[in-house]
Structure 1
Amino acid sequence: MKPIISASECVSESAGPRPPVLLDVRWQLGGPHGRPDYEAGHIPGAVFVDLDAELAGPAGSGGRHPLPDPAEFAAVMRRAGVGRDSSVIVYDGGLGWAAARAWWLLRWTGHRDVRVLDGGLAGWSGELSKETPAPAEGDFVPEPGVLPLLDADGAAALARSGLLLDARAAERYRGDVEPIDRVGGHIPGAVSAPTGENVGVDGCFLPAQALAARFAGLGVDGDTADIGVYCGSGVSGAHQVLALEIAGYRAALYAGSWSEWSADASRPVATGPEPG
């Protein structure tokens, strides 16, 4: 099953005999909470999920968006109507980062049928609703570990032995600027691979062949056994993992990402355009 779905396909499935569970995960880095946008209009039947409060644990030594407790995450999903056998479609405002984070968490905890709405709400041309649904409680039970996960030491090792991709903007990778974290730069050995290059001008993912060509240029090929991704705090990195999946590759996510790595002054930092 493809991990993304078009708006037209979403409309068709929602009108079918087994409509999917729709999750609205609108969120903006450093911006306002997404709930007001949801209340102003969302895809009919969609349930709002708060990335900061429900798709992440409390910020701290593990980074700005550490993974949530799997049992607490599963409880959120059940309240949203997610069952073991539910088809789930997640969307955000169009950037795709938050939706990819929800996709990754559901896949990591064992849900098999989850897709991201390609292009997000920005690509939706159907009607919007202001009604807040009250779905029946789902029966989803988490089984963490289905997708590969890295910690800081694992990311450092992979940067030496395999391929570790840095999904942040190139200027943050180089260390030219760092608007959020303690210090700029990147994990030594990591390769710059900005997430924004996974999509076209319409905000939709590039075709699988184009993504495969992009990642091949970064060192990914059929012989690359171990691929990892990190970003600022494990959100846009999930988008990169999703793009790699579309291209036919399985990658591990370093969830703590640069916000965890850079908070520890004992960890090495490389700067400049080269992996270092």
Structure 2
Amino acid sequence: MRALVSAEALLEEGLEGLVLVDVQWSLSGSGGPPGRDLYEAAHLPGAHHVDLDAELAGPPGPGGRHPMPTGHAVQEALRRCGADNASCVVVYDQGPSYAAARAWWVMRHFGAQDVRVLDGGIAAWQRAGGRVTTEVPEPGAGTFEAGLDGELSVLDADGAARVARDGLLLDARAAERFRGETEPIDPVAGHVPGAVNLPTTTTAQPDGRFLPPPELRKLFSDNGVRDGVEVGVYCGSGVTAAHEVLALHEAGIEAALYVGSWSAWITDPTRPVATGD
């Protein structure tokens, strides 16, 4: 089942019966306004805000800058939004869906059965003529139960090293970070030895929507994705890599996410670091 829903389709189908989750978010230090401020300025009618840093990730530490959250945190967030395990949840951010993809992955991992991403985020919704509001709904009373019965695979550092050696480990960061020429966020530059660089920006169109599935399949095939080859993805902290996992899903390819990503890899000085192409 495709995970993306277009703004046009959402307008046609209507918002009735959906659990709308706003995950507008700005990377710390990016200079943008906090996600809650973005939400309060404009959001889809009936949408509840979920904080990526506090509810879709655990505290920074050995597990990286955005490690796996607890099931309890995800459960409480989805209950506040009014969701149960079978709800149709639509998540979005301001575009191009980096935070929304992380929300999709986390929610599916903890057992949400039907999570969709508004392709292109609130920007696409407004371009299509969708209404926004500043009205904040009352907290919901959902019954979502977090478990580990989701369908999405997760990698730890040892798993990432194994996939880099025996399968295909994609690094979703910008090429200059992969090569180790610059590192604006983490204290060590470089990449996991054996990884292949495929920046997540290559999977999106200029307007923030994902490339169509045929173009995604060609892109991934051109970068080594083959039938029978295990695929994993990482980035700096497991956010933009989730966007690439979602792009792979839309192309019909299921990939595992190294949640801790580079920011977790480098917490152990015995792990090797590669530079260059």
TM-score category (smaller protein): over 0.9
Percent identity for Structure 1 against Structure 2: 55
Alignment partners' CA distance in 2, 1:20 and 1:47: 11
AA partner of residue 13 (structure 1): E
Alignment partners' CA distance in 2, 1:181 and 1:11: 40
Aligned to 1:264: 268
Aligned to 2:22: 24
Q: What is the CA distance between 1:143 and its match in structure 2?
A: 2.0
SS at match of 2:106: helix
Alignment partners' CA distance in 2, 1:56 and 1:33: 16
Contact 1:182/1:263 (<8 A) preserved? no
Aligned to 1:230: 234
Aligned to 1:158: 163
What are the equivalent positions in structure 2 for 1:36-75 lying under 5 Å apart?
36-75=37-76
SS at match of 2:257: strand
Alignment partners' CA distance in 2, 1:206 and 1:73: 29
Gaps of 5+ in 2: none
C-alpha offsets along residues 38-69 of structure 1, whole Å, 9 cap, x if unaligned? 11111111101111111111001110000110
Q: State yes or no: 1:12 paired with 2:17.
A: no
User: Which one of the candidate residues 222, 246, 249 is aligned to 2:250?
Assistant: 246
Contact 1:57/1:65 (<8 A) preserved? yes
SS at match of 2:73: helix
AA partner of residue 110 (structure 1): G
AA partner of residue 66 (structure 1): P
Q: What is the CA distance between 1:158 and its match in structure 2?
A: 1.0
Number of residues paired by the alignment? 270
Aligned to 1:91: 92
Aligned to 2:188: 183
Q: What is the CA distance between 1:264 and its match in structure 2?
A: 1.8
Alignment partners' CA distance in 1, 2:9 and 2:139: 22
Alpha-carbon RMSD across the aligned residues, in angstroms, is 1.1
Aligned to 1:108: 109
Alignment partners' CA distance in 1, 2:13 and 2:46: 13
Structure 1 outlier segments of 4+, above 4 Å = none
Alignment partners' CA distance in 2, 1:53 and 1:153: 26
Contact 2:233/2:244 (<8 A) preserved? yes
Counterparts in 2 of 1:220 and 1:234: CA distance versus 1, 3 Å: same
AA partner of residue 24 (structure 2): R
Contact 2:213/2:250 (<8 A) preserved? yes
Alignment partners' CA distance in 1, 2:158 and 2:114: 31
Alignment partners' CA distance in 2, 1:67 and 1:11: 33
Alignment partners' CA distance in 2, 1:259 and 1:188: 15
TM-score by length of 2: 0.95
SS at match of 1:63: coil
Q: What is the CA distance between 1:127 and its match in structure 2?
A: 1.4
Contact 1:181/1:263 (<8 A) preserved? no
Aligned to 1:212: 217
C-alpha offsets along residues 205-240 of structure 1, whole Å, 9 cap, x if unaligned? 10111000000011102232x110000001001001
